[in-house]
Amino acid sequence: MISVPELSLVVLVGVSGSGKSTFAARHFKPSQVISSDFCRGLVSDDENDQSATPAAFDLLHHIVGVRLSRGLLTVVDATNVQYAARKSLIDLARQHDVMADAIVLDVPEEVAVERNAGRPDRDFGARVVIRQRKDLRRSLGKISRDGFRKVHVLRGVEEIDRAEITYEKAWSDRRELTGPFDIIGDVHGCRAELEALLAELGWQGLTHPEGRTAVFVGDLVDRGPDTPGVLRLVMSMVAAGTAICVAGNHEQKLVRALAGRNVKVAHGLQESLDQLAAEPPEFVESARTFMDSLLSHYVLDEGRLVVAHAGLKEAYHGRASGRVRAFALYGDTTGETDEYGLPVRYPWAEEYRGRAMVVYGHTPTVQPEWVNNTICLDTGCVFGGHLTALRYPERELVRVPAEKVWYEPVKPLAAPARDAVMLDIGDVQGTRHVETRFAGRVKVAEENAAAALEVMSRFAVDPRWLVYLPPTMAPSQTSALDGYLEHPEEAFAEFAEAGVAEVVCEEKHMGSRAVAVLARTPEVAAARFGVTDGSAGAVYTRTGRPFFDDLTPLVDRLREACAPLWDALGSDWVVLDCELLPWSAKADGLIRSQYASVGAAAGAALPEAVSALEAAAARGLEVSELLERTRRRAGNATLFRDAYARYCWPVDGLEGVRLAPFQILACEGRATALEPHAWHLSTLGLLDAPIIAPTRHVFVSLDSPSSRAEATAWWEAMTAAGGEGMVVKPAAHTGGRVQPGVKVRGREYLRIIYGPDYTESLGVLRRRFLGKKRSLALREHALGLEALARLADGEPGWRVHEPVFAVLALESEPVDPRL
Amino acid sequence: MSQPGCGTLGGVLLTISTTVSPATDLGFLLHKHPDRVQRFAQSFGEATVFYPEAGAERCTAALLLDVDPVKLARSRGKGSPDFSLSQYVNDRPYAASSLLAVALADVFRTARAGRCNARPELAATPLPLRIRLPALPCRGGPELAGRLFTPLGWHVTAEPVPLDAGFPEWGDSRYVRLTLDGTVRLADALNHLYVLLPVLDEAKHYWMAPDEIDKLVRAGEGWLRDHPERGLIVRRYLGRRWSMARVALARLAELGDDTEEQLEPAVAEDAPAGETAADEAAEAEAAEAVEAEADGLGERPVRRTPLNTRRREAVLETLEELGAVSVIDLGCGQGELVGALLSRPRFARVAGMDVSPMALTIAARKLKLERMPDAKRARLTLFQGALTYTDKRLTGYDAAVLMEVIEHVDPPRLAALEHVVFGHARPAHVLVTTPNVEYNVRYEFLTGLRHADHRFEWTRAEFAAWAQDVAARHGYRVVFRPVGEEDPEVGPPTQMGVFTRD
């Protein structure tokens, strides 16, 4: 019976012909076994080409390294009879913080020679085997000192054939414990506070009536008034099976001191030693044994929770090595010390991108803060702060105040400096696959990400505000109706076909799409969005640009206008999808340089062309067709001018600016974008302020011809009066391949898009291709919802940024801009 | 009659009138009969020539151009990455642009050459002419039209066209209603239009033939060399190039039908005319060709070292003084500084980062990356990155350079840049240059900031305050150095902060 760790490097050792490959094939999956012969074949086309050996081992080490970094058990099938070969593999295992086991297959020389002779591809004769056996014999005496966790030696063919492999779980692996947990921060001998906290958490003695498990993050000892009392309580809980505990650096040092090792007595160690000196020796001994047995970290709840005293980066979760233990006990330090002589800590949590929640202590802070799904619970109880617990999975913090300052801190407790960036280039760059819960995995091509990076970093608002970007929206299928390119009937038919019973038609405001993120107060903005510059919101365009250089007046007015939402939603913040009016407020430059310019040129040129042609016609020249056409064009140019002018009105500061919210995207704990549109429209109907423009709408039962006809008439009246058009959406979230909405734009509005004379050539324009636009609309919609869901779930900033960035990246795909 | 394509059709109009006696001789000179209507197919539409009036005292020929924007877009070739809406909705169907010049050259080819077998003496004689263009795009305003046409013997009436009568506050459009009156040879008049229409238009260019220089020299024969605005004419005539960077960003700016934003390209701050070294060479060559034609008239002015060169030299000098061996240029643009660093062997490791893939592509081309010898190539790293995201690739250099970069960052995002560079990358030295806004009063024609994308420009005191704060927060010391001619009153045009880690 051979037992190896579930995640480990298994090194087979044996001469050529000892049966390593056969052994490996019998006990491991083919993908787990990397053989030197296989690698030699890959780099030389000949498995026995010895000149390829160095290259073959480079490749073997590379493959093994990649597998280990991905957490896969790996078996090396090579002779490994020489120390140097084994050493390089042990180093490789250490680099990836996994254990290495050796399995030695020791067969008699004649067996190996005979087996090789039976194989036509091994023509190297007995001498090689004899030399290898000599190396092996020399190795066997000292292989146990190579650095393997265990060396399993199988002697003789029979023993090899009988061997069975079993797997050991890593000590830190307690995935089967699913909680619920009460995770408790650094206690440091504060027994009274610990008892008060446990009571607050609902503990009765050593058990919790709801069967909760306590998890201690270490540093039970030193500095405080009753280290023996704390140890006694925690040891009893652990013994009762209602608590687990990881080691802290103070336990580590106390164990060494108790073992009589020469340690520097500082940082409150003296208090522990004095208090334990008053205890019976048996207790001291059992306490020492307990502390000595503590592991550096635990992986809990199916891998969703990791507890370590000073935190743990993702690459170390579930791994075992000296440096993993050092990280877990002392954290990641830069090697520098600060002005108080304390080590400067490397901000590993800022870079943490793992999915598991990491809960830790070690660094006292005033208030625990979530950083990328990690949280430090040390609130300096012994320094007169609080003793804090985290309820898991509830993510609730519970704390009790210290009775007094038990120990003067070397430096004052402070809130950790917030990271002004929170995002790493690795979060967005390169080809990416973003997991969404609404449409599976969405791919972002590298070049699109590159384009988005430029726009994002040069023009977008602070990413902490940029929690959503609106998806593109496809137009309805092209209408065949005379004089129309788009018409409501196609939109109704499309949704009816998809099985949608009811749709809502919402007026499409002709302005600029805007996302408004509003917090009730700057304090809420700081707590919820991490924005500490005193701002309380942002309003940005569909590429993430701020609407105005100074957003404060607009944000303030909107916060005031949206006050009724705080109670209605039970939230201190809200994200709204809106249209900001007038179009000219943001697009003024574009309207002047493009649309008005076209209108001015046409207005100057066409009447003169008409007069010139009229004069020619008067002379009897045959220009009637050209004249007729030019007259029509002059008329179209006037209509074009009227079309854009309708959406422009002068704005002075905020005077004249209006915001038309039509959807509540998210608020505390809820991605409300998934709510039915009736809810959005009625909730938004609570808003009654001059700056808010209502969104006119009608609900349509698709199985009712009269309901459809009414809505069509509504659309016709609205567009005839100059409206842009409408958006038709399933009344409730549908998902799947159904478009979340399609736009049906008015006849006159489309002149702005397709040009003044588009009505002259509808036949050609009807040949338009919507497929790509519609596919993008679905993918971007899924990404947008994903961003909102992550935001509502309180996920870290980089997780929210990922799908938002992906929307912008997809938008850089070239698509017919007229759609 | 050609089939109308999709999109806009239009009417670009040019009329030429004469009062020579008999006025109908205009028909001989133009080789177009006054009593006929003639049509000529163009790659982007159709041109029609007809005569609204043809009396003995006064005769007017009209050239009416139909432009089909879709054909126009197609004629630009598949290589064009333009997906912006302006491709479909633009002024080309109405405005007297380079397209009219092309059509005019085609339709009146013989007249423009000054040939007329029927009336050879008339072709060689200056005639009383009136030319009207109802919608001439005129960058530089009516005044520039006067400066260009008056020296050629024209009496110029250039009436600005208002942008939109309904919005008087928008002011005038870029078009003028142009009337030229003068006694000029018809061939010369046509050549004036052929060269000066595109010069005044100066819009995005829709075609660019390789023999453009020859064409200019030929059409300018006899009048261009003596024109007081010769320099401007040549520069603008040849300087119009389709800007790839603008196209790529315009695509992102428009995003479907929400045409709300215009993004300026990141590249080409210091090289607004040419995008590439090849372009620059072509331009220099063109200038020389015309200079030669002009027979060496006019001395080239003594050129002062441009500010961007002086800035680069100041940075290089400082880096050498600091003894930096590895340097990263954050916001390397087209790689000028990177190239200069590589040419000095003491800089063993050189990196250039920019946020714009376009800038990096140009930098790679200018640095001849693909042909670079291995030893030099091994010293260089070029990559895309953004100063608002932490990035491990920025660590491990002796010095980082932020040359004219911070003023392109929105002030609220400066904290992120600070964290990325001073908090995360933490090189031993950081060199930051930025404009000194006090000096702006010394630029005669400058209104506003020095570049459209500048989010701010600081006084010396403002820069010093920011730099001191950053240094204090991150354990650096900072000293300041002037770059460029230091003005006793307003200081140097560029200011540099040299940060050194404690």
> Which of A463, A542, A609 is opposite residue B255, by nearest beta carbon?
A542
**Pick from A97, A107, A85, A101: nearest CA to A144:** A101
Are A613 and B52 within 8 A, CB to CB?
A: yes
Are B356 and A601 within 8 A, CB to CB?
A: no
Q: Specify the pLDDT at position B69.
A: 66
Are B252 and A812 within 8 A, CB to CB?
A: yes
Kindly state whether residues A127 and A272 are assigned to the same domain: no
Kindly state whether residues A276 and A345 are assigned to the same domain: yes
Q: Specify the pLDDT at position A533.
A: 86
Strand positions, DSSP E, A233-332: 243-245, 297-300, 305-308
The pair of three-digit structure tokens given for residue A204, joined into one six-digit string: 């009765």
Are A543 and B95 within 8 A, CB to CB?
A: no
CA B251-B256-B259 angle, 5° bins: 75
Q: Are B113 and B123 in contact (CB under 8 A)?
A: no
**Confidence tier at B108 by pLDDT (50, 70, 90):** very high
Q: Specify the pLDDT at position B269.
A: 33
Kindly state whether residues A208 and A348 are assigned to the same domain: yes
Q: What is the mean pLDDT of chain A?
A: 92
Burial class (CB in 10 A: 0-12, 13-18, 19+), B110: middle
Decide which of A618, A645, A672 is a domain's last residue. Answer: A645
Q: Specify the pLDDT at position B272.
A: 34
Mean pLDDT, rounded, for B463-484 = 95
Q: Specify the pLDDT at position A186.
A: 97
Mean pLDDT, rounded, for A435-443 = 91
Decide which of A336, A366, A401 is a domain's last residue. Answer: A401
Q: Specify the pLDDT at position B211.
A: 64
Does residue A619 form part of some domain?
Answer: yes
**A344, A457, A619, A815, best to mutate vs chain B, most B CBs in 10 Å:** A457
Q: Which residues of B touch A819 (CB under 8 A)?
A: 256-257
Kindly state whether residues A250 and A150 are assigned to the same domain: no
Q: Which residues of B touch A580 (CB under 8 A)?
A: none
Task: Give how far B42 is from chain A: nearest CA, Å.
Answer: 17
B22: cis peptide before it, omega within 30°? yes
**Pick from A380, A379, A403, A375: nearest CA to A391:** A375
Task: Give how far A331 is from chain B: nearest CA, Å.
Answer: 18
Burial A646-663 (b: 16+ CB within 10 A, else e): bbbeebeeeeebbbbbbb
Does residue A330 form part of some domain?
Answer: yes
Mean pLDDT, rounded, for A326-354 = 82
Are A600 and B262 within 8 A, CB to CB?
A: no
pLDDT higher than threshold 60 for residue B252: no
> Which of A447, A546, A606 is opposite residue B11, by nearest beta carbon?
A606
- Amino acid, single-letter form, for residue A615: A
Tens-place pLDDT, residues A524-546: 998 889 888 889 999 999 999 99
For tokens 């006067």, name the residue. B146
Q: What is the share, in percent, of chain A residues with pLDDT greater than 70?
A: 99
* CA gap B274, B280 in Å, rounded: 5
Work out how many CB contacts closer than 8 A connect A with B. Answer: 279
Are B255 and A811 within 8 A, CB to CB?
A: yes
Tens-place pLDDT, residues A67-126: 999 999 999 999 999 999 999 999 999 999 999 999 999 999 889 888 888 877 776 777
Are A597 and B8 within 8 A, CB to CB?
A: no
> Which of B62, B260, B424 is opposite residue A587, by nearest beta carbon?
B260
* CA gap B232, B212 in Å, rounded: 16
Are A598 and B83 within 8 A, CB to CB?
A: no
**Confidence tier at B246 by pLDDT (50, 70, 90):** very low
Q: Which residues of A touch B36 (CB under 8 A)?
A: 621
> Which of A421, A608, A764 is opposite residue B416, by nearest beta carbon?
A421
* CA gap B433, B478 in Å, rounded: 13
**Confidence tier at A468 by pLDDT (50, 70, 90):** very high
pLDDT higher than threshold 70 for residue A421: no
- Measured CA distances, A600 to A649, B100, B160 (Å): 18, 18, 11
All CATH 3.30.1610.20 domain ranges of chain B, comma separated, are 12-293
The pair of three-digit structure tokens given for residue A167, joined into one six-digit string: 């797997």
Does residue A703 form part of some domain?
Answer: no
* CA gap A661, B222 in Å, rounded: 65
SS3 B497: strand
Q: Are A729 and A439 in contact (CB under 8 A)?
A: no
Q: Specify the pLDDT at position A736.
A: 82
Higher pLDDT, A366 or A664: A664
SS3 A143: helix
Q: Specify the pLDDT at position B363.
A: 93
Provide φ and ψ at B199, rounded to 5°: -65, -40
Q: Which residues of A touch B415 (CB under 8 A)?
A: 420
The pair of three-digit structure tokens given for residue B502, joined into one six-digit string: 């404690």
Q: Are A7 and A60 in contact (CB under 8 A)?
A: no
Kindly state whether residues A156 and A260 are assigned to the same domain: no
CB atoms inside a 10 Å sphere around CB B6: 23
- Domain of residue A43, residue span: 2-168
pLDDT higher than threshold 70 for residue A663: yes
* CA gap A680, A82 in Å, rounded: 73
Are B164 and A609 within 8 A, CB to CB?
A: no
Decide which of A121, A137, A168 is a domain's last residue. Answer: A168
Q: Specify the pLDDT at position B289.
A: 46
Task: Give how far B92 is from chain A: nearest CA, Å.
Answer: 8
Sheet strands side by side (includes A243-245): A243-245, A213-216, A181-184, A386-392, A396-401
Residue A60 parent element (H or E): helix A53-69
**Pick from A254, A355, A369, A248: nearest CA to A309:** A248
Tens-place pLDDT, residues B18-56: 998 899 999 999 999 999 999 998 887 889 999 999 999
Sequence-separated (6 or more) residues with CB below 8 Å from residue A61: A88, A89, A92
CA A385-A386-A389 angle, 5° bins: 150
A522: cis peptide before it, omega within 30°? no
Q: Which residues of B touch A462 (CB under 8 A)?
A: 412-413, 416
**Confidence tier at A419 by pLDDT (50, 70, 90):** low
Tens-place pLDDT, residues A229-254: 999 999 999 999 999 999 999 999 99
Are A625 and B266 within 8 A, CB to CB?
A: no
Q: Are A309 and A217 in contact (CB under 8 A)?
A: yes
Task: Give how far B462 is from chain A: nearest CA, Å.
Answer: 19
Least confident window among A617-626, B23-32, B39-48, B277-286: B277-286
SS3 B143: helix
> Which of A597, A608, A745 is opposite residue B91, by nearest beta carbon?
A597
Residue by residue, what is the 3-state secondary structure of A488-520?
Answer: HHHHHHHHHHCCCCEEEEEEECCCEEEEEEEEC
Q: Specify the pLDDT at position B276.
A: 33
Mean pLDDT is highest, among B40-44, B204-208, B497-501, for B497-501
Task: Give how far B294 is from chain A: nearest CA, Å.
Answer: 36
Q: What is the mean pLDDT of chain B?
A: 81
Mean pLDDT, rounded, for A21-27 = 95
The pair of three-digit structure tokens given for residue A359, joined into one six-digit string: 């809960």
Tens-place pLDDT, residues A260-294: 988 888 889 999 999 999 999 999 999 999 999 99
pLDDT higher than threshold 90 for residue A345: no
The domain spanning residue A125 has which CATH number? 3.40.50.300
> Which of A607, A622, A755 is opposite residue B88, by nearest beta carbon?
A755
pLDDT higher than threshold 80 for residue B214: no
Tens-place pLDDT, residues B420-466: 999 999 999 999 999 999 999 888 777 788 888 899 999 999 999 99
Q: Which CATH superfamily is domain B307-501 in?
A: Vaccinia Virus protein VP39 (3.40.50.150)
Sequence-separated (6 or more) residues with CB below 8 Å from residue B272: none
| Domain covering B12-293, topology | c-terminal autoproteolytic domain of nucleoporin nup98 (3.30.1610)
- Measured CA distances, A427 to A443, A688, A807, A812, B32 (Å): 14, 41, 14, 18, 67
Kindly state whether residues A83 and A207 are assigned to the same domain: no
Task: Give how far B243 is from chain A: nearest CA, Å.
Answer: 16
Q: Which residue of B has its CA nearest to A761?
A: B6
For tokens 């509003």, name the residue. A518
Q: Which residues of A touch B37 (CB under 8 A)?
A: 616, 621-623, 626
Kindly state whether residues A299 and A360 are assigned to the same domain: yes
Q: Specify the pLDDT at position A13.
A: 95
CA A630-B208-B48 angle, 5° bins: 25
DSSP letter string over B244-312?
A: HHHHHHHHHHH-TT--------SS-SS-SS-SSHHHHHHHHHHHHHHHHHTTT-SPPPPPPPPHHHHHH
**A515, A548, A626, A647, best to mutate vs chain B, most B CBs in 10 Å:** A626
Task: Give how far A45 is from chain B: nearest CA, Å.
Answer: 30
Q: In 3-state terms, chain A is what percent helix, strand and coil (to 5)?
A: 45, 20, 35
Q: Specify the pLDDT at position B114.
A: 87
Mean pLDDT, rounded, for B384-400 = 95
* Cross-strand bridge partners of residue B272: none
Chain centroid to CA A83: 44
Higher pLDDT, A169 or B83: A169
Q: Specify the pLDDT at position B244.
A: 34
Higher pLDDT, B204 or A462: A462
**Pick from B188, B209, B367: nearest CA to B286:** B209
> Which of A599, A600, A761 is opposite residue B5, by nearest beta carbon?
A761
Q: Which residues of B touch A428 (CB under 8 A)?
A: 389
> Which of A587, A650, A761 is opposite residue B4, by nearest beta carbon?
A761
> Which of A428, A605, A818 is opposite residue B257, by nearest beta carbon?
A818
Kindly state whether residues A29 and A109 are assigned to the same domain: yes
Q: Which residue of A has its CA nearest to B162?
A: A600
> Which of A586, A621, A645 is opposite residue B166, by nearest beta carbon?
A645
Q: What is the share, in percent, of chain B residues with pLDDT greater than 90?
A: 53
> Which of A545, A592, A818 is opposite residue B163, by nearest beta carbon?
A592
The greatest distance separating any two alpha carbons of chain A, rounded to the nearest whole angstrom, comes to: 127
* CA gap A417, A402 in Å, rounded: 24
Chain centroid to CA A628: 62
pLDDT higher than threshold 70 for residue B284: no
Are B390 and A423 within 8 A, CB to CB?
A: yes
Task: Give how far B248 is from chain A: nearest CA, Å.
Answer: 9
- Amino acid, single-letter form, for residue B244: M
* CA gap A632, B336 in Å, rounded: 54
Whole-model pTM: value is 0.81
Tens-place pLDDT, residues B355-371: 999 899 999 999 999 89
Burial class (CB in 10 A: 0-12, 13-18, 19+), A141: exposed
Mean pLDDT, rounded, for B399-415 = 93
Kindly state whether residues A640 and A597 are assigned to the same domain: yes
Compute, in degrees rounded to 10, the torsion defined by CA atoms B78, B80, B84, B87.
Answer: -70
Task: Give how far A386 is from chain B: nearest CA, Å.
Answer: 29
Q: Which residues of B touch A622 (CB under 8 A)?
A: 37
Are B94 and A598 within 8 A, CB to CB?
A: yes
Sheet strands side by side (includes A697-701): A697-701, A502-508, A725-730, A742-745
Task: Give how far A706 is from chain B: nearest CA, Å.
Answer: 32
CB atoms inside a 10 Å sphere around CB B488: 5
Q: Specify the pLDDT at position A418.
A: 58
Provide the number of structural domains found in chain A.
Answer: 3
Ordered alpha helix ranges (H), A704-818: 705-720, 749-754, 762-765, 771-792, 797-811
Pairing of strands A305-308, A297-300: antiparallel
Kindly state whether residues A9 and A139 are assigned to the same domain: yes
Q: What is the DSSP letter of B392?
A: G
pLDDT higher than threshold 50 for residue B243: no
Tens-place pLDDT, residues A546-577: 988 889 999 999 999 999 999 999 999 999 99
* CA gap B315, B15 in Å, rounded: 58
The domain spanning residue A209 has which CATH number? 3.60.21.10
SS3 B354: strand
Q: Which residues of A touch B9 (CB under 8 A)?
A: 629, 633, 757, 760
Q: Specify the pLDDT at position A266.
A: 86
Task: Give how far A221 is from chain B: nearest CA, Å.
Answer: 34
Least confident window among A331-345, A421-435, A722-736, B119-133: A331-345
pLDDT higher than threshold 50 for residue B79: no
pLDDT higher than threshold 80 for residue B75: no
Kindly state whether residues A127 and A198 are assigned to the same domain: no
SS3 A678: helix
pLDDT higher than threshold 60 for residue A508: yes
Task: Give how far A354 is from chain B: nearest CA, Å.
Answer: 17
Tens-place pLDDT, residues A687-697: 999 999 999 99
Q: Specify the pLDDT at position B293.
A: 44
For tokens 């280290």, name the residue. A227
> Which of B48, B81, B357 is opposite residue A450, by nearest beta carbon?
B357
Least confident window among A105-119, A492-506, B79-93: B79-93
